[in-house]
Amino acid sequence: MPHLSLPFLAQLATFKLRVKTLAQGILTGLHNSPLQGQSVEFSEHKEYAPGDELCHLDWKVLGKLDRYFIKRFEHEANMPFVLLVDTSGSMGYGEETYNKLEVAKVLAGAFAWVASKQQDAVGLLSFSQEKPQLLRPKAHANHLSLILSQLQSLKAQGETHLGAALETLSAQLRRRAVLLVFSDLLDENPNMLSQLLKLRTQKYELALFHILHSDELNFPFEEPTLFLSMEDERRLEIHPLRLRQSYLQHMQHFLKNTRSQCQTANVDYALVPTHNPLEPVLLQFFAQRKRGRRK
């Protein structure tokens, strides 16, 4: 099976098929994942006491030891997933069929698919609009189709309105939830990241998928270029070779700073270069979550 990079996925006919292909790949990789099977898990034995539910009596132990033990389970809370997708103009960088937003959409779709298979509730919020609308998390099967069609319709345009998105989220989502953020974090607002990370201190768990194009990471341009901002009217005419070294230094500093802030805030962070395979990103994420839960 080829790596599930976005260029490969882009060759697939429909968005849904792309998402499904990626999700199935993940499910195959997660065969012993805690998300598989039951959502409750055996924790310990307890000696029977009057009033205990007889349905939890461990009959095998009674047969072997002739003593009454009650099985106790660690019941995992049914935490809804909310997919936060950045649809600002800068997310449209790259080729038409596999730009950064496409990566975000496919990743988010794959998460929704997997979560849906586990009967977890999934919601969606895109944050480029001034009045973002939250698709509330739900667990029934039809909701997945809604999520996927909503994802498919997203387009990269405008500026990033993270503040409005967070306000909407706080106002409409009263429960604890796992927030999966898909963004390039390229915003003129220097507090964007800290605003995001502040969510962690509230009732939310947070995972950040930092999506960047290889051009943005490597700055491979060599000819004189007129750079046009994708979110506003700014423009810059420069010979890229003269700027490359300095740009790469700034980019490294930006990545390092982002990673470090995420670590400090106990937020799962994954850098997703658009041309790399996507499977490892998801597998790594779920593996992290498993480790985190067992601790």
Contacting positions for another protein (CB under 8 A)? 90-93, 100, 184, 186-188, 213, 215-216, 221, 223-231, 234, 236-239, 241-247, 249-251, 254
Q: By the 8 A CB rule, do 120 and 79 touch?
A: yes
Helix (H, G, I), strand (E, B) or coil at 69: strand
Q: In terms of CB distance, is 150 or 183 closer to another protein?
A: 183
Helix (H, G, I), strand (E, B) or coil at 50: coil
We find the least distance from the C-beta atom of residue 241 to another protein, in angstroms, to be 4
Structure tokens, 37: 């099977």
We find the least distance from the C-beta atom of residue 180 to another protein, in angstroms, to be 21
- d(CA 136, CA 26) in angstroms, rounded, equals 24
Q: In terms of CB distance, is 8 or 221 closer to another protein?
A: 221
| Location of structure tokens 């997703």 | 272
Closest residue by Cα to residue 207 from 292, 131, 113, 145: 292
The one-letter amino acid at 244: R
We find the least distance from the C-beta atom of residue 186 to another protein, in angstroms, to be 5
Q: In terms of CB distance, is 160 or 168 closer to another protein?
A: 160
Residue-by-residue DSSP string for 87-148: -SGGGG-S-SSSSHHHHHHHHHHHHHHHHHHTT--EEEEE-SSSS--EEEEE-SHHHHHHHH
Report phi then psi at 250, rounded to 5: -65, -40
We find the least distance from the C-beta atom of residue 93 to another protein, in angstroms, to be 4
Q: In terms of CB distance, is 17 or 241 closer to another protein?
A: 241
Structure tokens, 108: 């988010």
Q: By the 8 A CB rule, do 213 and 6 touch?
A: no
How far, rounded to the nearest angstrom, does the alpha carbon of residue 9 sit from its chain's CA centroid? Answer: 18
We find the least distance from the C-beta atom of residue 147 to another protein, in angstroms, to be 26
Q: In terms of CB distance, is 89 or 109 closer to another protein?
A: 89
We find the least distance from the C-beta atom of residue 226 to another protein, in angstroms, to be 4
Q: In terms of CB distance, is 42 or 227 closer to another protein?
A: 227
We find the least distance from the C-beta atom of residue 227 to another protein, in angstroms, to be 4
Distances from the Cα of 19 to the Cα of 3, 8, 145, 256, angstroms: 14, 12, 11, 30
